[in-house]
Amino acid sequence: MDRQGVRLSNFHVGASCSPTRAMLLTERSRENYPVVI
């Protein structure tokens, strides 16, 4: 994301949003890196 001009320096996600948290931290979409809760 940083190479494309987006940098998140301070963000928070709720505990019920594990797929979004994993996607932001790994920079991979859910389709490419499925997360099972």
pTM more than 0.95: no
Tell me what pLDDT residue 16 has: 66
Q: What is the DSSP string of 1-17?
A: -GGGT---SS----TT-
Largest separation between any pair of C-alpha atoms in the chain: 30
User: How confident is residue 2, by pLDDT bands cut at 50, 70 and 90?
Assistant: low
d(C-alpha 35, C-alpha 6), whole Å: 23
pLDDT tens profile 6-37: 777 777 666 667 777 777 777 776 666 565 65
Between 2 and 19, the more confident residue is: 19
- Is residue 1 scored above 60 in pLDDT? no
Q: Would you tell me how many other CB atoms lie within 10 Å of the CB of residue 21?
A: 16
